[in-house]
Amino acid sequence: MVAWALLADVVPLYSLYALLFTATGLSVAEVSALFAIWSAVAVLAEVPTGAFADRFSRRSCLAAAGVLQAAGFAVWMLLPGFAGFALGFVLWGLGGSLDSGAKEALLYDGLDAVGAAEHYARVAGWVAAMELVAQLPAAFAAMWLFVAGGFPLVGWVSVGTCLVAAGVAVTLPEPPRGDAADGTGYFTTLRTGVVAAARTPGVRPVLLAAAVLGAYDAVEEYFPLLLADWGIPAATIPLATVVIVIGGTAGAVLGGAAGRLPAWALGTVLAAAMVLLGAAGIGGHPAGLVAVAAFYCGYRAALVVVDARLQERIPSATRATVTSVAALGTQLATFAVYAAWATGGAALLAVGGLLIAVALPVLLRRGVAGSGAPGIAATRRSEEGARARRDA
């Protein structure tokens, strides 16, 4: 899974596709419309594709995600223009939705099948770290490929990397799941997952924490703008952002260790990270780069732990669907992050993060609101008992 995460994100086109659009002659308004189409597809497909992964195969969803992303990039190369770019974003959006939820479900249930579910935070942290690390070789490859062959070479190499990632996904182990082949229909799976996310008391607070905290990952889009405002030369901004990426990578790797912290201590780590972000934004000095990197470290560690706490409370049969509901919440909450940054920049965003940090110990508390949400072992016993009664 770690190798797949690295390969899936070594996509040279990531750092250049916005420039591809403008070089083709699209206006800023048209580029914004493309991003809106991409976001709309992701919102609409997020939960339905999660249920697809629960009903059928998580591994196949990861492979299909790579194929669809490759197809989207191929369309961009063959049909450069607004219509072609829009179709490519539809395909990419569907692929991204297939990936979301299926990845976490495949990893958690795979570990649980060998009695290692308690290591999920550590392994998931390494997966997240590889996704961040992949940005570095992808960026360097993009520069070299663009010089050698322009946008076409960058695009077709990106098609190839997506297909390679899809091929690796096919080889990932997937534990057998009787719940995925017991005759339950797709729409029943979808409904069961949505109901579990909405009505299970032990799941709802952690799902809320995962959705809202996950939206803060959108801050990454503003890092170059923040550094430019501090007077860092444009030519050195890519190098400066590497420092922030290294901080986030370290935080993801430390997610396993952070998972052993009590909830109040994790909230304290997140609060300290948000204070650093706010201080960097208010200070407006290039030295704030170190503070932003430290913020990203603490934030990424907390994000890994919150995801692990969510996975612990989800029954296996609805794991991808419920995780996709959280991802849908993240996508919707991201709009609030954009609005907060536009209104008050890093300082206002840090205030919102502090509120999340204060609430985190309550949201992660076990047995919230008289939950009694089943753990993995209890859920499996219940599922096995139900199958035994049907067989009888």
Q: List strand residue ranges (DSSP E) for the chain, in order.
A: none
Q: Two tokens at 182?
A: 């017991």
Asked whether residue 77 falls in the same domain as residue 11, the answer is yes
Question: Are residues 211 and 104 part of one domain?
Answer: no
- Using left for φ > 0, alpha for ψ between -120 and 50, and beta otherwise, residue 367 falls in left
Whether residues 172 and 239 share a domain: the answer is no
* 29 and 76 both lie in a single domain: yes
The answer to the question of residue 307 being in a domain is yes
- Domain for residue 181, yes or no? no
Within this chain, do residues 12 and 119 fall inside the same structural domain, yes or no? yes
Mean pLDDT of the chain: 87
Does 208 map to a domain?
A: yes
Same domain? For 151 and 259 the reply is: no
pLDDT digits (tens, 9 = 90+) for 250-286: 999 999 999 999 999 999 999 999 999 999 999 999 9
pTM of the model: 0.83
Number of domains the chain is built from:
2
- The CATH number of residue 367's host domain is 1.20.1250.20
Q: What is the domain extent for residue 36?
A: 1-176
* 170 and 245, same domain (yes or no): no
My answer on whether 243 and 325 are in the same domain is: yes
In a domain, 286, yes or no: yes
Report if residue 86 sits inside a domain: yes
| Assigned domain for 347 exists | yes
299, part of any domain = yes
In a domain, 22, yes or no: yes
Contact 142, 15 (CB under 8 A): yes
Indicate whether 387 pLDDT > 60.
no
pLDDT at 4: 80
If asked whether residues 217 and 321 sit together in one domain, one would say yes
Is residue 216 domain-shared with residue 359, that is, in the same domain?
yes
Q: Bigger pLDDT: 376 or 318?
A: 318
Q: pLDDT tens digits for 134-162?
A: 888 888 888 899 999 999 999 999 999 99
Claim to verify: residue 124 and residue 269 sit in the same structural domain:
no
In 3D space, the residue among 229, 177, 176 whose CA is nearest the CA of residue 345 turns out to be: 229
Write the burial class of residue 343 (CB in 10 Å: 0-12 exposed, 13-18 middle, 19+ buried).
Answer: exposed
- 124 and 259 inside one domain: no
Domain end position, chosen among 176, 192, 210: 176
